[in-house]
Amino acid sequence: MTKRRTGWTAVVLAGLLFAAVLAFMPALAPVFAWAFPGIEPPVYDGETFVTLWLSHAGLVATASLVSAVLAVGLGIFVTRPAGRDFRVLADALATIGQSCPPVAVLAVAVPAVGYGPLPTFIALAIYGLLPILENTIAGLESVPAAVREAATGMGLSPLQVLRQVELPLAGATILAGIRTAVVINIGTATIGSTVGAVTLGTPIIDGLVGDKLPYVVQGAVVVGLFAVFTDLVLEAWGRLVSPPAAKSALGKAKANPA
Amino acid sequence: MIELSNVVKTYAGRRIVDGVSLTVKRGEVCALIGSSGSGKSTTLKMINRLVEMTSGTIRVGGEDIERLPPEMLRRRIGYVIQSVGLFPHWTVEENIATVPRLLNWPQPRIAERVRELLGLLRLDAREYAGKYPHQLSGGQQQRVGVARALAADPDILLMDEPFGALDPITRGEMHAEFAHIHETTKKTILFVTHDMDEALELADELAVMEHGRIVQFGSPRQILDRPATEFVHDLIGMSQIGLKRLAVQRVAERMRPGEPAPGDAIDASATLKDALSRMIERHTDRLAVRDEAGRVAGAIRLADLVA
């Protein structure tokens, strides 16, 4: 219970801090002017940080949604009797996706689809597949065989077993995979600014190129807070979708496989 | 009610179930007994098509099971497994309501049925309906598992080693529960066990399986009196064979109606083993016997036990 309360408090605090930094960054100009004398203007003044954030968040959200749909779908498929043979192949593909550096994917994607948000979107979508696929498979396989046998034996159709039994029991694990993917993608999206996407990486890249350190700091702080806030929100959501009963009963069933 | 005829199941060229024919009559309890790998669980699972047979025919209530979609067949057959398999994310009430919900029963009828079954399984509805499976003991979980199997009032109950995972005391309680449920509902029950004592205690008929075949079929007395093969003989366990025979016969079968005897009376429905135990405890060779109404109806002597 204590843990649960702390979780929600942290979500609210991180949210307030993030919103304040996002909205009032220009007001921090004197602080940056004092810390980094001689840089004009002291706060990045391209697009507003709110605009950068909206574009960044939109890119991460759509890319993660695509990864989630693909990876959960693939995870379900390879844990069905018909798709079991593709399990190894799916694992291999997702691992390749994960081990290609996003920069390399951008380098390949830009000539193919041009500058703008699209190459970044592709890189993020590929990058998010592995954690979600792994967690989907792990979550579905953690459903005790006895529970699945009982469900089938009661007369649930395969689709009913999946929707009423397997997915609810695997939901928290799948969501943990989505959380990992989203948080990684929030960080990774910043490099999209090198190929024309508008993200919170834009001030960072401008700062690096123009030798203006405060812009790098400003961009990095906002991205960092955004990542922390999103992580806490998704963690809290994960706790909501996994009833305490399901957790301990699953633990118990794993402890004595009868 | 359940008829298997010449049922075969082959896995990778091996005949796991090798031409099994078996009939369980309406309202009867039949035990499929054998060691592990004898094909008994596979035989059971072919009846609700969790395992598809290779050849042969199975009829349930006179109907060929291959003519029904498997889901429809299964909703008409109660199914209980050793590891219970309650749905951990659903309450006791939701677990029991599984099949009625699949059959689209109206909500009030489901709620009433759940209360009725919790009563039958001696679980207090107010206390248990809202609990989650992990909050229950092993015995309580198996009670809920049995209630869930009975929910849509199927004619047939299939049970796969239903009491195998329970401790001896809880198992004893569940045996009594089993007898109580059968008495109350008159379901046709086919259950798998590797425990001969359990089979002798609970079943009207035993089918002993070895290497995928039924090597003997008969009542507990027939099995005890004339084990057909060395294997059946070993399965019974020849130690205390005499006591096992006494345990499958009732006082009513050997009593002397009308004969008077002193002391507290024993129920006519008690086993001869109970009667022997009572005689030894009381240092006597005669017991009064009372009928179902509780009236003294006769007596039983030590000599009658060995007759």
Q: State pLDDT tens for residues A90-141.
A: 888 878 877 878 888 888 888 888 888 999 999 899 888 889 999 999 999 9
Q: How far apart are CA B77 and CA B73, in angstroms?
A: 7
Residues of chain B with Cβ-Cβ distance to A151 below 8 Å are: 85, 87
Question: For A49-88, how does the pLDDT look when each residue is reduced to its tens digit (9 = 90+)?
Answer: 999 999 999 999 999 999 999 999 999 999 998 888 898 8
Q: Looking at CA atoms only, how far is residue B26 from chain A in angstroms?
A: 21
Q: Are B192 and B32 in contact (CB under 8 A)?
A: yes
Q: How far apart are CA A143 and CA B84, in angstroms?
A: 14
Q: Looking at CA atoms only, how far is residue B148 from chain A in angstroms?
A: 9
B85 and chain A: CB distance < 8 Å anywhere?
A: yes
For residue A243, what pLDDT is reported? Answer: 58
Question: For B275-290, how does the pLDDT look when each residue is reduced to its tens digit (9 = 90+)?
Answer: 998 898 888 888 999 9
B141 and chain A: CB distance < 8 Å anywhere?
A: no
Nearest residue of chain A to residue B103 (CA atoms): A155
Nearest residue of chain B to residue A144 (CA atoms): B85
Give just the sign of the alpha carbon dihedral B66, B69, B75, B78.
Answer: positive
Q: Are A203 and A189 in contact (CB under 8 A)?
A: no
Q: Nearest by CB to A155, from B85, B88, B99: name it.
A: B99
Q: Taking CB atoms and an 8 Å cut-off, how many pairs form between chains A and B? A: 81
For residue A108, what pLDDT is reported? Answer: 85
- Residue A253's pLDDT band (boundaries 50, 70, 90)? very low
Bridge partners (DSSP) listed for residue B216: B208
- Residue A256's pLDDT band (boundaries 50, 70, 90)? very low
Nearest residue of chain A to residue B165 (CA atoms): A258
Tokens of B22: 């078996």
Residues of chain B with Cβ-Cβ distance to A245 below 8 Å are: 88-89, 132-135
For residue A246, what pLDDT is reported? Answer: 46
- Interface contact flag, A156 B71, Cβ < 8 Å: yes
Residue A46, pLDDT above cutoff 90? no
What backbone phi and psi angles, to 5 degrees, belong to B283?
Answer: 55, 50
For residue A168, what pLDDT is reported? Answer: 92
B105 and chain A: CB distance < 8 Å anywhere?
A: no
Assembly ipTM: 0.80
- Interface contact flag, A147 B86, Cβ < 8 Å: yes
Residues of chain B with Cβ-Cβ distance to A246 below 8 Å are: 88-89
Question: One digit per residue, pLDDT tens: chain B, 307 residues?
Answer: 999 999 999 998 899 999 999 999 999 999 999 888 899 999 999 999 999 999 999 999 989 999 989 999 999 999 999 888 899 999 999 999 999 999 999 999 999 999 999 998 888 988 999 999 999 988 899 999 999 999 999 999 999 998 888 888 888 888 888 988 898 889 999 999 988 888 988 999 999 999 999 999 999 988 888 888 888 888 887 667 778 888 888 888 888 988 888 888 888 888 888 899 889 888 888 899 998 888 888 899 988 888 7
- Residue A47's pLDDT band (boundaries 50, 70, 90)? confident
- Interface contact flag, B99 A154, Cβ < 8 Å: yes
Bridge partners (DSSP) listed for residue B289: B266, B298
Q: How far apart are CA B151 and CA B156, in angstroms?
A: 12
Residues of chain A with Cβ-Cβ distance to B84 below 8 Å are: 146, 150
Q: Are B189 and B177 in contact (CB under 8 A)?
A: no
- Interface contact flag, A258 B102, Cβ < 8 Å: no
- Residue A257's pLDDT band (boundaries 50, 70, 90)? very low
Residues of chain A with Cβ-Cβ distance to B52 below 8 Å are: none
CA distances from B281 to A40, A167, B276, B286, B293 (A): 104, 59, 9, 12, 25
Q: Are A165 and A146 in contact (CB under 8 A)?
A: no
- Residue A249's pLDDT band (boundaries 50, 70, 90)? very low
